[in-house]
Amino acid sequence: MAEAAVLSTGSSAPPTRRRRNWVPYALLLPGLLWLVVFFVLPMVTLASQSLQEGNVDDGYTFTGNVGIYVDALKQYWPQFVRSFLYAGTATVLALLLGYPLAYFIAQKAGRYKNLVLVLVIAPFFTSFLIRTLAWRTILSDDWFVTTWAQKLHITDLLQAVGLTANDSLLSSKFAVIMGLTYNFLPFMILPLYTSLERLDPRLIEAAGDLYASPWQTFRKVTWPLSLPGVVAGTLLTFIPAAGDFINARLLGNTQTTMIGSVIDSQFLRVLDYPLAAALSFILLIVIVTMVSVYVRRAGTEELL
């Protein structure tokens, strides 16, 4: 009946239908173009770069030198391991800090919700570099944070567990991990907020009504229902943190170099493009592998 009505309005109906089929593709086009120019092409260039030999002055030629990947791993595996360790620790810390905060904003903040959200995002109004430099001041030896930490023997504790080398806070593993945690915390909070915001508070009431203590309610209802946010948040924190090269350079020492810094210096200072490209590719492959295993283990597709 609806069809008949459409037909009777005139011949304009069929073309409309045909045109509509084009719309999704037309809308995809700008994004696809962007990805081709700024992602696919550079990736192909990078891949071919990693298999070239030569130097900057004489130019590079493609030789298919796969051995560079083995050399890169042999030489820089400690930096790889360190990067994933730091990024993993920072991700866990960000989750521990971010989850209660996201829960509060989503479920309890009421009319202050937007204000608190703005406060979470506010640091983004200044540049990443400046924020990290600010941490140098915060953790510097003569600032109260360090002197208080010394008085409270926190520095001793950090030294005992090997996170710092002496009684200052700056230029240590501790400082790098703190910097990573701080810089990527909003990436953790926002996805967590989104998924906790969707959590129906009546489900929490229902769990309580069915004899679940507050802790059981969290474990059986709140946590599983917020898993999509946890997965998204941890990925958005872990992936950029693993490749980060600013925090390690500004807040660390020579013993805390992360793989991002190595790639950075190979590209821009040593000018060993093939090695830098190979390192980038290894980082990429390891991250993609870890992420796909993680996402599958978390079983989020069922929750979404």
Partner 1 sequence: MSKQQGKGDLGLVALTKSFATFTAVHPLDLVVPQGSFFALLGPSGCGKTTTLRMIAGLEEPTSGRIRIGDSDITDTKAYQRNVNTVFQSYALFPHMSVLDNVMFGLRRRGDKDAKAKAKEVLELVQLEQVASKKPTQLSGGMQQRVALARALVNRPDVLLLDEPLGALDLKLRRQMQIELKRIQQEVGLTFIHVTHDQEEAMTMADSIAVMNAGRLEQLGDPATLYEQPRSTFVANFLGQSNLLRATVNPGGTDHVVTVRAHDTDLEVSREHLPEGVRDVWLGVRPEKLRLGEGGGPNQLRGIVRDVSFSGVATQYSVQMPWGQELIVVQQNDGTARAVLGETVTVSWAAQHGFALDASQDAEAGAELVDDHG
| Positions that interact with partner 1 (CB under 8 A) | 200, 202-203, 205-213, 216-217, 220-221, 224-225, 302-303
CB of 108 to partner 1, least distance (A): 16
Cβ closest to partner 1, residue 97 vs residue 212: 212
Q: Which residue matches tokens 């490209």?
A: 277
Three-state DSSP at 252 gives: coil
Cβ closest to partner 1, residue 19 vs residue 220: 220
In this structure, which amino acid lies at residue 145?
V
CB of 223 to partner 1, least distance (A): 10
**23's tokens:** 């719309």
Three-state DSSP at 243 gives: coil
Cβ closest to partner 1, residue 58 vs residue 209: 209
Cβ closest to partner 1, residue 153 vs residue 219: 219
The per-residue DSSP string of 191-242 comes to HHHHHHHSS-HHHHHHHHHTT--HHHHIIIIIHHHHHHHHHHHHHHHHHHHH
The answer to whether 165 touches 138, Cβ cutoff 8 Å, is no
Q: What is the DSSP letter of 220?
A: I
CB of 220 to partner 1, least distance (A): 7
CB of 53 to partner 1, least distance (A): 54
Cβ closest to partner 1, residue 34 vs residue 223: 223
Cβ closest to partner 1, residue 145 vs residue 303: 303
CB of 206 to partner 1, least distance (A): 4
Cβ closest to partner 1, residue 207 vs residue 282: 207
Nearest to 138 by CA among 175, 87, 102: 175
Task: Give every CB contact of residue 87 below 8 A, 6+ residues apart in sequence.
Answer: 180, 237, 238, 241, 242, 244
CA 245 to chain centre: 13
CB of 141 to partner 1, least distance (A): 50
Nearest to 120 by CA among 136, 100, 140, 137: 100
The answer to whether 226 touches 196, Cβ cutoff 8 Å, is yes
Q: What is the CA radius of gyration of the chain?
A: 25
CB of 23 to partner 1, least distance (A): 30
